[in-house]
Amino acid sequence: MALKFTLTLVHQVVPNTFKKRAQSSMELLILMGFLTFVIIGIMGVGYFYSNTINDRIKSNEINNFATKITSTAETVFYSGEPSKSTILAHLPENVKDIEIINNTLIITYNLATGENKGAFQSNVPIIENSLSQLTTSSGIKNIVIIANQTHAIISQN
């Protein structure tokens, strides 16, 4: 009788124990799946915004580079012919081309969104020295601007 009671008790307790374990395992799997989905979503949004922020930083650096050159060229030109100024300007990575056409400094560069061109107009006539042109390698540039009677000459040391 005691053996029968014990077996009956074991049959009643064992299935409930397995059901509780299975339920808690399923809840844990659902929770882990939800957390994985949320983390992947947050990482995707972060990746998108990091590219946008990097593009803005690069555009601002190029804008500062060109503005520094054009404003110094204007100052040197208005100061007269023997004037000369040397500036240090930072050029970011992924710049493809720097050219001066019709008193406009044109910089072609790559962003995560594609190729862009920045055009920076000068109020004075500017030309690039054909012997020491501005290079597109990234880093700090030592730029010399010399005034002439007719224009400001931009070169890189």
DSSP line for 122-133: -SS-EEE-SSSP
pLDDT in tens, 133-155: 999 999 999 999 999 999 999 99
Report the predicted TM-score, pTM, of the whole model to 2 decimal places.
Answer: 0.73
Maximum CA extent, the chain: 120
C-alpha torsion 50→55→61→63, nearest 10:
-150
What is the H or E stretch that residue 41 is in?
helix 2-79
How far does CA 32 lie from the centroid of its chain?
33
Q: Which residue has the tokens 């307790």?
A: 13
> What's the rounded Cα separation, in Å, for the pair 58 and 3?
81
Sequence-distant (6+) residues with CB within 8 A of 70 are 105, 120, 121, 122, 123, 126
- pLDDT tens digit at each of 157 positions of the chain: 555 655 565 556 555 555 566 777 888 899 999 999 999 999 999 888 888 899 999 999 999 999 999 999 999 999 998 899 999 999 999 999 999 999 999 999 999 889 999 999 999 999 999 898 999 999 999 999 999 999 999 999 8
